[in-house]
Amino acid sequence: MEPLRRVALLGAIVVCCVSCDQATKTVATAQLAGRPPISLVGDTIRFSYAETPGGFLSLGVSLPGRIRAWVFGLLPAVAVLTLLAVAVRLHSPNRLQLVAVSLLIARGTANIIDRVTYGVVRDFLNIGIGSVRTGVFNVADFAITVSTVLLMADFWTGRVR
């Protein structure tokens, strides 16, 4: 894929994903904050607002605020910039790899925006059956799941060839 097309695809995916994430978080904040959860499809899907000062599954939530800001602000920013440099400089990533890396960049960017703007990441989705449930997450978190699936599919299809 030629460099200009690669950058255009990466940019389009990042802008769309971050925009969707921020828009859904804005709606969730307005409609769900301070209210009881909304349950759909026999409680398979729950919408409930949560603010996450730490990382995945409240990792690091007990760290002092200043250290937490560095760990969950600076490190993700370095990771996003590194992924961006790799995505732009790679000479032959296939489209699947580029889409996956773009989603990783979008996820990091969206959550960095939340941390800089609100000091926390806003989450609002929870799925599961009975007591087997995910943690509360957002659209950017879902993007990392899709990215992982795409990278695994690319790896396995490459191994089959």
pLDDT at position 88, please?
Answer: 81
Q: Which residues are catalytic?
A: 123, 141
pLDDT at position 113, please?
Answer: 95
User: What is the reported pTM?
Assistant: 0.86
pLDDT at position 87, please?
Answer: 85
Between residues 148 and 69, the one the model is more confident about? 148
As a whole number, mean pLDDT of residues 43-59 equals 87
Please say if the pLDDT value at position 35 is more than 80.
yes
Query: What does 76-91 look like in DSSP terms, one character per residue?
Result: HHHHHHHHHHHHHH-S
CA distance 139 to 16: 11
pLDDT at position 157, please?
Answer: 83
Instruction: Report which residue type is found at 111.
Output: N
Please say if the pLDDT value at position 26 is more than 90.
yes
In the structure, what pLDDT confidence band is assigned to residue 67 with cuts at 50, 70 and 90?
A: confident
CA distance 139 to 135: 13
Name the percent of the chain lying above pLDDT 70.
96
In the structure, what pLDDT confidence band is assigned to residue 138 with cuts at 50, 70 and 90?
A: very high
As a whole number, mean pLDDT of residues 55-72 equals 80
SS3 134: coil
In the structure, what pLDDT confidence band is assigned to residue 69 with cuts at 50, 70 and 90?
A: confident
Helix 139-160 with 95-118: angle, nearest 10 deg? 160
pLDDT at position 50, please?
Answer: 95
Please say if the pLDDT value at position 117 is more than 90.
yes
